[in-house]
Amino acid sequence: MKFFVDTAEIDEIAELNDLGMVDGVTTNPSLIMKSGRDILEVTKEIAAMVSGPVSAEVVALDADTMIAEGRKLAAIADNIAVKVPLTWAGLKACNTLTNEGHMVNVTLCFSANQALLAAKAGATFISPFIGRLDDINLDGIELIEDIRTVYDNYGYETQILAASIRTVNHVLDCARIGADVMTAPPKVIKAMANHVLTDNGLAAFMSDWEKTGQKIL
């Protein structure tokens, strides 16, 4: 499973990148706002730091302007994936930008039918939002399962990029189903290493080791 980091905070990306945990990065207008950075500048910095895809989102609502924005974002670096919303304008922009050879991430997906349209439009990635479905008492994980089934039925190569991941359980559920990629905030990725038995076991080993009086170095 590929791990993308869902943030525009350079330091947090760098920290996880140094741990070998970053296969790509996703950003959106809200994350750019939170970072307080200029979208073109911060996207360039991120794309230079990581070798995998870096999603940068268009903000226009009509296809022609989305395409123009997408071309500008894609020109930042070879590893930019242009992120477009799952609207007919976004699907048109996806089709055009894909035909031009750009990676496209279709975002704000909340149904398997939407995901089917994105695959037909040639999307590199489809981003179903798990947490936001859970927020309204719908089943985000079931959506990932449905999209996996639909894509596998027809051999679509669009990668399922599970997004709006809020918990470590979301990550595991997506991995069980076979989502190609998950994107999560740094704090969720970091929390995956936590286990109380690891902490307790390490404390016991350290305590016993101290009693031996030995040193390795």
For binding to ligand G3P (CB under 6 A), which residues are involved? 6, 26, 28, 129, 131-132, 163-164, 166, 183
**Does residue 194 contact residue 26 with C-beta atoms inside 8 Å?**
no
In the complex, the smallest distance separating the C-beta of residue 89 from ligand G3P, rounded to whole angstroms, is: 19
Which of these is catalytic: 83, 92, 190, 215?
Answer: 83
Minimal distance, residue 168 CB to ligand G3P, in Å: 14
Question: Residue 177 and residue 180: Cα distance in Å, rounded?
Answer: 9
- Give, in order, the Cα–Cα distances in Å from 175 to each of 86, 103, 135, 141, 172: 24, 23, 21, 11, 5
Question: Shortest approach of ligand G3P to residue 157 CB, angstroms?
Answer: 21
- If the CB atoms of residues 124 and 183 are measured against ligand G3P, the closer one turns out to be 183
Return the residue nearest ligand G3P (CB atom).
164
Q: How far is the CB of 131 from ligand G3P (least distance, A)?
A: 5
Name 166's bridge partners: none
Task: Note if 187 is an active site residue.
Answer: no
- Specify which residues 181 forms β-bridges with: 2, 161
- Provide the 8-state DSSP code for 84: E
3-state secondary structure 133-199: HHHCCCCHHHHHHHHHHHHHHHCCCCEEEEECCCCHHHHHHHHHHCCCEEEECHHHHHHCCCCHHHH
Residues with active-site annotation? 83
